[in-house]
């Protein structure tokens, strides 16, 4: 019987120690799992923060690149637009110059000249006409009482008025009007 009691005590002691060891092992595993989870959470947060920082940097780089590309494309579009407008203005001015040349050969041209010379007012003594328009000289002299002279270059049509002594000049040539219009086209007003 002593052996039996002793066996029971040894079995009880072994069971108690085993239960205690298992409980301690379970607590340790649980603590290790918690520690491992905490480490994983911190590592994940750090990785997410680093990734977000990199993404923010790349986003800023992409935004700068996109803005630069947009600016360059806008500049190219403006240059193309201005080149197109300049070509259209050149074509328009060439067409207008042709129309003015035709008008300067029409019967209405003399009425235009006399009307504009009279509208300029008094104080002028000389009318300068393009060399090719001197056939109007006698009629202009008779209608206005001004002296008519030939200009040095052909300025499509129109005239210049000079005061006595040639100190002041009024340029009413078609060429001057075209240049003024070309320097300040209506779409810029």
Predicted confidence (pLDDT) per residue in 115-125, tens digit: 888 888 777 88
Question: Among 52, 70, 103, where does a domain finish?
Answer: 103
CATH number, domain with residue 154: 3.30.2320.30
Tokens representing residue 163 in the block: 């005061």
What is this structure's pTM? 0.50
Question: Among 103, 129, 146, where does a domain finish?
Answer: 103
Residues 82 and 26 in one domain: yes
Residues 86 and 32 in one domain: yes
Separation of alpha carbons 134 and 123, rounded Å: 22
User: Does residue 129 contact residue 137 with C-beta atoms inside 8 Å?
Assistant: yes
Residues 111 and 97 in one domain: no
Predicted confidence (pLDDT) per residue in 44-79, tens digit: 888 888 888 888 888 888 889 889 999 998 999 999
Give the domain range for residue 117.
107-188
Question: Among 103, 137, 154, where does a domain finish?
Answer: 103
Residues 74 and 134 in one domain: no
Number of domain units in the chain: 2
Q: Report the Cα 56 to chain-centroid distance in Å.
A: 28
Separation of alpha carbons 87 and 3, rounded Å: 121
Residues 114 and 95 in one domain: no
Strand partners, 172: 159
Residues 81 and 54 in one domain: yes
Residues 37 and 115 in one domain: no
Predicted confidence (pLDDT) per residue in 1-59, tens digit: 777 877 787 878 888 888 888 888 888 889 888 888 888 888 888 888 888 888 888 88
């Amino acid at each position: 019987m002593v052996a039996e009691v002793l066996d029971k005590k040894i079995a009880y002691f072994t069971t108690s120690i085993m239960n205690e060891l298992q409980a301690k092992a379970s607590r340790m595993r649980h603590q290790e799992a918690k520690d491992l989870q905490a480490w994983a959470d911190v590592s994940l947060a750090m990785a997410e923060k680093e990734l977000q920082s990199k993404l923010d940097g790349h986003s800023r780089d992409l935004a700068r690149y996109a803005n630069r590309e947009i600016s360059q494309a806008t500049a190219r579009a403006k240059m193309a637009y201005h080149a197109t407008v300049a070509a259209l203005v050149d074509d328009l001015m060439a067409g207008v110059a042709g129309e003015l040349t035709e008008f300067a050969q029409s019967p209405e041209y003399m009425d235009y000249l006399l009307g504009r010379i009279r509208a300029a007012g008094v104080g002028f003594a000389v009318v300068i006409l393009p060399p090719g328009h001197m056939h109007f000289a006698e009629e202009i002299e008779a209608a206005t009482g001004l002296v008519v002279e030939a200009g040095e270059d052909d300025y499509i049509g129109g005239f210049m008025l000079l005061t006595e002594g040639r100190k002041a000049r009024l340029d009413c040539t078609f060429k001057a009007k075209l240049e003024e219009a070309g320097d300040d086209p209506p779409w810029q007003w």
